[in-house]
């Protein structure tokens, strides 16, 4: 405080060489006091740990024996870390490119609507949400049970709308009752039938409460005689509730099986198709003379479509990348949008005057002019994607964790999560650092250029 006083009493313009030096020294002390807290923290908790980890990575699991580069060669031998490296590579190749592309498309399109701000806000909002919350959100969305996970609910309803559902996934034929199961899951009559015949195909394994609504007893239909030019029959449930009834015979109270697809097959070729009525009856008309097999195709008995196993070993990484897209698309869109707003309007207008269409303008003018922004977005995303941890850790269910593992999760597992190999863990940490060094160089260079 004294030095301040001295300065105040000095008349202006009388600043000689000595006070300047003293001034500078005063500045120096102040400067050191100003930067000291930051430098202490950075030195103790960032710089020293980096050096420590580099050193530690040359020692064995317990840290007592120097092993040279062994941890680094181990990294490429151990199947788990190889898997992690491969998955990180997939992430780096797929996610930044998708995000940049998606962000570019949305940024260009959103310019054309009046509610652009609202849309940008909506898409940017997931950036505020923690990876943990996003992970829980997507664990829910990806749930395999179509009655719980919204994605599979959508997939199953779309599938069923196009493919239809099978009505009798559990039905089967009794042995030795004239109906046999074929290799493809269909059922066929053993003996041939010709126009003028009536056949009865009995099945079991359908719970009475699983019968389609409106199913009626098959007895009356089974008793009807076939006209000379028709082949007819019933498909019925060969089971009488409460016991009684005779196997292989349509008893009085036994139900028909409606909505069953029935085919008439001759020499291995399907020549006619029909569907059973509510009492299980069916008929083929206008068949040429000869012997036919009556077949109930496998589609009647297909197990219900269960949707996609999003979090199974095969799809877990793409599924987690999907969640990542949900979080980061807004970022990419807003950053590219800012670049878009800074584009020279003249160039775009001139191109429009020359009669270029929107696609040509996009390809030939917008994208090339945006290249620097796109690069920044892409590089930023690559750095972030390399370090992805929480999302993988949360979304991948326990047993699938090792299929989804990336460098950051593997580093965690090896060092703290039971692996307890801090030598290998440190080496993985150093690998992560090495991977971001190009970005480090890029940052330093860009900064130095901006200072000139």
Partner 1 sequence: MNAVRRGLGNGLVQAFLVVVGLVWMTPLAGLFVSSLRSAEDTAEGGWWTVVTSPGQLSFDNYTALLKNAGITQAFWNTVLISVPTTVLVVVVAALAGYAFAWLDFPGRETVFLVVVALLVVPVQIGLLPVAKLFGQLGLFGTIPGVVLFHVAYGLPFAVFLLRNYFAEMPKEMLEAARMDGGSEWRIFTRLVLPVGRPAIASLAIFQFLWVWNDMLVALLFADSSSQPLTVELQSQIRQFGSNIDVLAPGAFLSLIVPVVVFFAFQRHFVQGVMAGSVK
Interacting positions 321-380 with partner 1 (CB under 8 A): 326, 329, 331, 334-335, 338, 358, 380
Among 75, 95, 98, 106, contact with partner 1 (rule: CB under 8 A): 106
Residues of span 419-438 touching partner 1 by CB under 8 A: 422, 425-426, 428-430, 432-433, 436
Q: How far apart are the first and last CA of the chain?
A: 36
Please tell me the count of residues contacting partner 1 according to CB under 8 A: 98
Distance in Å, CB of 34 to partner 1, minimum: 4
Q: Angle at the Cα of 46 (from 42 to 51), degrees rounded to 5? A: 125
CA distance 41 to 149: 46
User: Which H, E and C letters describe 250-294, residue by residue?
Assistant: CCCCCEECCCCEEEEEECCEEEEEEECCCCCEEEEECCCCCCEEE
When binding is defined by CB under 8 A, the residue of 45, 183, 207, 353 that contacts partner 1 is 45
420: left (phi over 0), alpha (psi -120 to 50) or beta: left
The answer to the question of residue 199 lying near partner 1 (CB under 8 A) is no
Subset of residues 163 to 182 that bind partner 1, contact rule: CB under 8 A: none
Decide: 301 and 167 in contact? Cβ < 8 Å: no
42 or 350: CB nearest partner 1: 42
CB of 50 to partner 1, least distance (A): 6
Our CB check for partner 1 shows the closer of 109 and 227 to be 109
Interface pick for partner 1 out of 20, 50, 93, 347 (rule CB under 8 A): 50
Q: How far is the CB of 347 from partner 1 (least distance, A)?
A: 20
CA–CA distance from 280 to each of 167, 179, 222 (Å)? 13, 16, 9
Decide whether 132 or 227 has the Cβ nearer to partner 1.
132
Among 112, 225, 449, 452, interactor with partner 1 by CB under 8 A: 112
Cα–Cα distance between 35 and 40 in angstroms, integer? 9
392 lies in the binding site for partner 1 (CB under 8 A): no
Q: Work out whether 80 is an interface residue with partner 1 (CB under 8 A).
A: no
Q: Binding partner 1 by CB under 8 A: which of 20, 27, 164, 170?
A: 27
- Looking at residues 117 to 156 of the shown chain, list those that interact with partner 1 (rule: CB under 8 A): 119, 121-133, 135-141, 146-150, 153
DSSP assignments along 83-134, one per residue? HHHHHHHHHHHHHHHHHHHHHHHHHHHHTTSTTHHHHHHHHHGGGGS-HHHH
Query: What sign has the CA pseudo-torsion 356, 359, 360, 361?
Result: positive
- Are 145 and 152 spatial neighbours (Cβ–Cβ below 8 Å)? yes
Q: How far apart are CA 78 and CA 231, in angstroms?
A: 66
DSSP string, 212-247: PTT--BSHHHHHPPPPTTEEEEEEEE---TTS---T
**Smallest separation (angstroms) from partner 1 to the CB of 438:** 9
Told to check if 113 binds partner 1 by CB under 8 A, we report yes
Residue 387 lies near partner 1 (rule: CB under 8 A): yes
Closest contact distance (angstroms) between CB of 293 and partner 1 is 42
Q: Cβ 204 to partner 1, closest distance in Å? A: 30
Of 225, 269, 448, 449, the one binding partner 1 by CB under 8 A: 448
Compare residues 20 and 371 and give the one whose CB is closer to partner 1.
Answer: 20
Residue 212: burial class (beta carbons within 10 Å; 0-12, 13-18, 19+): middle
Q: What span, in angstroms and rounded, lies between the C-alpha atoms of 281 and 299?
A: 18
Question: Interaction with partner 1 in 272-331: which residues (CB under 8 A)?
Answer: 326, 329, 331
CB of 56 to partner 1, least distance (A): 7
The alpha carbon of 64 is separated from its chain's Cα centroid by a whole number of angstroms, namely 43
Q: In the complex, what is the shortest distance from the CB of residue 7 to partner 1, in angstroms, rounded to a whole number?
A: 5
| Angle separating helix axes 367-386 and 422-451, nearest 10 degrees | 150
Smaller CB distance to partner 1: residue 142 or 292?
142
SS3 179: strand
Stretch that binds partner 1, among 43-51, 84-92, 215-223, 247-255 (CB under 8 A): 43-51
CB-wise, 146 or 195, nearer to partner 1?
A: 146
**Helices (DSSP H) in 342-421: which residue ranges?**
345-353, 358-361, 367-386, 390-395, 401-404, 407-415
Question: Using the rule CB under 8 A, which residue among 243, 244, 398, 418 binds partner 1?
Answer: 398
The smaller minimum CB distance to partner 1, of residues 276 and 329, is found at 329
């Amino acid at each position: 405080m004294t030095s301040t006083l001295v300065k105040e009493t000095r008349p202006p313009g009388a600043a000689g060489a000595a006070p300047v030096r003293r001034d500078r020294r005063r500045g120096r002390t102040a400067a050191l006091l100003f930067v000291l807290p930051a430098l202490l923290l950075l030195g103790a908790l960032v710089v020293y740990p980096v050096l420590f980890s580099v050193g530690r990575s040359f020692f064995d699991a317990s840290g007592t024996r120097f092993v040279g580069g062994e941890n680094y060669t181990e990294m490429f031998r151990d199947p788990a870390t190889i898997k992690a490296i491969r998955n990180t590579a997939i992430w780096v190749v797929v996610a930044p490119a998708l995000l940049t592309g998606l962000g570019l498309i949305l940024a260009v399109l959103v310019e054309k609507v009046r509610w652009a701000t609202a849309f940008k806000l909506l898409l940017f909002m997931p950036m505020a949400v923690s990876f943990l919350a996003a992970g829980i959100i997507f664990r829910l969305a990806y749930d395999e049970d179509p009655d719980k996970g919204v994605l599979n609910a959508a997939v199953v309803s779309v599938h069923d709308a196009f493919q239809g559902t099978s009505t009798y996934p559990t039905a089967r034929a009794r042995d030795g009752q004239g109906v046999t199961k074929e290799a493809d899951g269909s059922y066929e009559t053993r003996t041939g039938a010709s126009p003028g015949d009536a056949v009865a195909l009995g099945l079991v394994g359908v719970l009475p409460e699983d019968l389609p609504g409106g199913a009626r007893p098959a007895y009356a239909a089974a008793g009807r005689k076939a006209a000379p030019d028709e082949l007819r029959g019933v498909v019925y449930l060969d089971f009488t509730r409460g016991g009684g009834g005779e196997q292989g015979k349509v008893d009085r109270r036994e139900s028909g099986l409606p909505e069953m697809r029935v085919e008439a097959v001759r020499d291995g070729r399907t020549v006619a198709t029909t569907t059973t009525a509510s009492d299980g009856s069916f008929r083929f008309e206008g068949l040429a003379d000869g012997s036919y097999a009556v077949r109930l195709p496998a589609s009647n008995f297909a197990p219900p479509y269960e949707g996609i196993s999003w979090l199974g070993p095969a799809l877990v990484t793409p599924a987690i990348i999907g969640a990542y897209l949900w979080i980061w698309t807004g970022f990419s869109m807003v950053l590219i949008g800012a670049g878009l707003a800074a584009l020279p309007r003249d160039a775009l207008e001139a191109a429009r005057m020359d009669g270029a269409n929107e696609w040509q303008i996009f390809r030939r003018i917008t994208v090339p002019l945006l290249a620097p922004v796109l690069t920044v977005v892409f590089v930023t995303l690559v750095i972030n994607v390399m370090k992805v941890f929480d999302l993988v850790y949360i979304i991948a269910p326990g047993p699938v964790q090792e299929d989804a593992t990336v460098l950051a999760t593997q580093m965690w597992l090896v060092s703290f999560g039971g692996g307890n190999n801090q030598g290998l863990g440190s080496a993985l940490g150093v690998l992560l650092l090495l991977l971001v060094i190009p970005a480090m160089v890029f940052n330093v260079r860009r900064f130095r250029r901006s200072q000139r």
